[in-house]
Every structure is written in C-alpha cells, then in structure tokens.
Structure 1
Amino acid sequence: MSYADKIFVDMCRDILEHGTSTEGEKVRPHWEDGTPAYTIKQFGVVNRYDLSKEFPAITLRKTAIKTCTEEMLWIWQRKSNNIHDLKSTVWDEWADESGSIGKAYGYQLGVKHQYKEGMFDQVDRVIYDLKNNPFSRRIMTNIYVHQDLHEMHLYPCAYSMTFNVTQKKGHDKLTLNAILNQRSQDVLAANNWNVCQYAVLVHMLAQVCDMEVGELVHVIADAHIYDRHVPIIEELIQREQHPAPKFELNPDIKDFYQFTTDDIKVTDYITGEQVKNIPIAI
C-alpha cells in the first residue's frame, strides 16, 4: 500500500485525537458566510518520504498531480505572481483586478541577488550550487521576505526549501534530498497537493543535475484540520488504500526550464472517490 497513505492517516488521527482546538479564539480565517473558521491543530509535524522507493501520492482520493505540478512550475520555473500565467484557478481569491498576487511566491524566486560568482535568482542559484558545489550546506530558498510582506496578498505558506546532497555506498550518482518548510497547512485541502508538487520538483532538479532522488522531508509548523473538514477527514481515513502510482519524467529533458506537465507520466494510479466541493477558509 502507499506509504503516503499511512503518513496521511497517522497524521490526521494524531491531529484529531491529540490536537488542540482554536474554537472560541480570535482567528483570521473565515468561511464564505462570514463564520470564523476554527481548527484542530498539531504543532511541529514532520513527515518523511523516500522518493527513491515510491512517488508519495495518496490513494484515499486522487491528487491532481499534473495540476499541482503546473502550480509549482508557475512559481519555480515561470517565477510568476500573476494568475493569468496559471492554468488552474486555485489562486483566484487572492488576485487583484490585474491578476497579481503581489510580491509573493514566484515574484520572490525571480528576484536576482549578488553572489561572488555573479547575479542569480534563487532557483538559478540552487541549480548552480547543485551542479558546482553539491555538498554545500547552504543550498536553499526562502520566499518569506519580511520587507515585502505588506505587498503580498497572502503570506507564503510553503516558504522554504533546503537541499542536501548525499552519496550512497555503491552508487555512482549523488542523491538529492530536500526539506520543505511550511508555516501553516490546511491538511485536507493542501497536504498531499504540496507533497506531490515538491516531490516532482525534487525529481526534476535531480534529473537536470544528474542525480538520484532521495528523501523529501516535510516540516509543518501548524498542521490543522478545519472544523467543517472534520467529518470529511474522518470518512477519508477509513477508506481502502492502494499501492502508490508509478511516476516517470521525460528523460530527454536536461534543462529545468524546458519541463512542462506533458513531461510527467503517472500510471497505475488507483484511488478512492474524489472529495468534491471542499469548503475553503479564506
């Protein structure tokens, strides 16, 4: 069975059974009808996925892997902060009349910075270091830029990636590992979405840097289940589990900026029924 299912079920049960409630507190999120959106939360959740063993898509319900990859490429490859450059509608609520979400996400990754080797944005710097200084302990990105927070329509949730390269005994290629840091996460709506899109990112970077994929470690400071999501989660974690799908990238792509969602192939993805019309707190 999918190891991602086990991680998801165990995390949800731990939140429901041992988490703390924000009910009655002054909370920022609210439902469309104006009602406060309370949560049951757990602090400091750490989940580990070995990408060399399986692709971490849950099978309890389907995760739209190409759609979440499209969002990841919008941020990491196109470095855009405009929803007109994105095929999905997941960011529409936070965009202004021009389509901008402010100085957030892709905008920050596209800002160039001075290094001793020259000017790089954060993505190009990661790729440069992975190719030229792979054992550096300084290969990371950070889009939680305090000086620009007031110009972001939504503060970054998944805000930092730290990359770390190891050498497995008997392997010719190096292994690429990564830590995804997230300050806050809506477990039902976003957990496996984020896991899958950053797993795809690690696969892509490993391929263009001639490495093998290793671990993706997901650190969530505030992992929460919204009050209106509790019955959905309770039903979801009781569902039948299936083996993880097979995942492939087009092996001919050697430039990160050439990847498209057409270069992803997901097969044998058997899942439970999709959960539709999930209410989203705003």
Structure 2
Amino acid sequence: MSKADQIFLQNCRDILEKGVWDTDREVRPRWEDGTPAHTVKLFGVVNRYDLREEFPIQTIRKINYRAAFDELLWIWQKKSNNIHDLASHIWDSWADENGSIGKAYGYQLGVKHVYPEGEFDQVDRVLYDLRHNPGSRRILTNIYVHQDLHAMNLYPCAYSMTFNVSGNTLNAILNQRSQDMLTANSWNVVQYAALVHLFARCSGLEAGELVHVIADAHIYDRHVPLVEQLMERESYPAPVFRLDPAVRDFYDVTVDGMALENYQCAPGIGKIPVAI
C-alpha cells in the first residue's frame, strides 16, 4: 500500500473523528451557489515522507500529476503570476481580466534581493546555497509577504520551504497555513516532493525527507461523503519518480522530463466542488 495513501487516510480519519467544526461561526469561503462552506479541522498536522523509499502520490484515486508538475514549474521556474503561462485552469477563479493573480506565488519568488554575494531571487538563492554553502541553516523561501498581501488575489497557502542538507542528502520542510485535504493535499505533496528531487539533482545531492507541516488541516462539509468513499478503496504500490538523466540545470526541467513509472491507481471521484 502506498504510504501516501496511508498518511492521507489517517489524516482524514483523525479530522473526522477528532476535529472541530466551524458551523457556529461566520466563514469567508462560499460554494458556487453562495452557501457558506464550513469545515471540520485539526490543528498542527505533521506528515513525513521519505523520498528514498517511494514517491508520495495517492493511488486510491487518479491524480493528474502532470498538471501538478506544470503548476510547480509555473511558480518556481517561470516565477509567473499569470494564468496564461499555465496549462491548466485551476487558477482561473483568482485571475483578473489580464490573467494576473496579483503579487502572489511566482511573483514573490522572482523578486530580487541584495546579498553579500550579489542579487538573487529566492529560487536562485536556494540553488546557490545548495551548491556553495550546503551546511547553511538559512536556506529557505517565504512567499507570505505582508506588505504585498493587499495585492494578492489569494493569500499563499503553502508559503514556506526550508531546505537542509545532511551529508549528501537534501531534506525539506513545507509549511502550509491551510490545507483543503480532499482537493489539495495530494497535489501539494506531489509538487513539493518533486521539487526536492529537482533541487537535489541540480545540486549534486540525493533526495531525502519531505516534512509537511499543516497549521489548519480541514475537510469541507460537502467533501465528507467523497472522503468516506475514498476510505473504502483499495490502495496500490507507489510509483517511481524519474527525471530526465540529462537534466542538471533547474531551468532546463520540463514537464515532459518528469515521469512516474508504474503509476497504478483507482479512477477519479468525479468533479470535486471547490469553495472560493
């Protein structure tokens, strides 16, 4: 059984059995019909994925990992905030008439900052330190920039990555303020597991652990029956992540250069309603 399935299902059981509902208060998110989108949540969920053992993707339903990889590169490689640079339509609800999501996500990673070694944006600073100063305890990114929140069409959910090298192994912590478990959990885990693999390859390191810290892990009210449906499904063995062996530069990575070998999975569960 895929460990990603085990972790996800245990998280969901814990949320449904021990979580707290917010039905006693006003909430910001709304369903498409205008109804308030309430959740049941747990605070402070921490999950660990050892990328040396398997690639963490759910098999209890089909995950469009190519679209997840594309969004990852849109944010981290293209450093874009415009949906016209993205193959999928997952960001359409937050884009303006020009396709911009404001000063969010990729925009923040592309802002240059001055260091003793010169000017770097956040991505290039990480890559520089992984190559030249792997013992540093300061290798991190943060896109929750308070002075720009007013100009973001959506505040960042997954907002910080901390990278740490132990020996020849690259480990990372993903910090997330909020997680829609059904819609986004596997998507984010797939993306940031791939990012650790990419940064490791481009820095001459091996991918190690991804630790995912979620402040508010929740299931929406209309998602509960879908989650319960997933709990009844059988799991498959995890696939293997493959990266084009010729790639050594992060900016040469493409979606076609990443693949999951032997990805067996159950079918999807249909269109999932998304709260806005």
Normalising by the smaller structure, the TM-score range is over 0.9
Partner of 2:114: 114
> What residue number does 1:64 align with?
64
Matched, 1:227 2:221: yes
How far apart are 1:268 and its partner, in Å?
Answer: 1.1
Spell out the pairing of 1:262-273 with structure 2 (5 A cutoff).
Answer: 262-273=256-267
Match in the other structure for 2:14: 14
Deviation at 1:206, TM superposition (A): 0.4
Counterpart secondary structure, 2:42: strand
Q: In the alignment, what sits opposite 2:52?
A: 52
TM-score normalised over the length of structure 1:
0.97
- Classify the secondary structure of the residue corresponding to 1:182: strand
Distance 2:172 2:162 in 1: 5
TM-score w.r.t. the length of structure 2 is 0.99
**Partner of 2:100 in structure 1?**
100
Measure how far apart 1:230 and its partner are.
Answer: 0.2
Q: Give the corresponding residue for 2:209.
A: 215
Residue 149 (structure 1) aligns with: 149
SS in 2 for 1:183: strand
| Partners of 1:224 and 1:110 in 2: CA distance | 30
| Equivalent residue runs for 1:113-262 within 5 Å | 113-167=113-167, 174-262=168-256
Runs of 4+, deviation exceeding 3 Å: none
Letter in 2 for 1:199: A
**Shift of residue 24 of structure 1?**
2.7
* Structure 1 residue 265 displacement after superposition: 1.8
Letter in 1 for 2:210: L
In 1: Cα distance, 2:169 partner to 2:50 partner: 11
Partners of 2:91 and 2:147 in 1: CA distance = 22
SS at match of 2:57: coil
Structure 1 residues 10-49: aligned runs within 5 Å: 10-49=10-49
Which residue identity is paired with 1:60? Answer: I
2-structure distance, mates of 1:273, 1:62:
5
Q: Aligned residue pairs: how many?
A: 276
Q: For residues 226 and 24 of structure 2, what CA distance do their matches in structure 1 show?
A: 22
In the other structure, the counterpart of 1:3 is 3
Gaps in structure 2 of 5+ consecutive residues: none
Between the aligned partners of 2:56 and 2:87, the Cα distance in structure 1 is 23
2: CA distance, partners of 1:276 / 1:208: 37
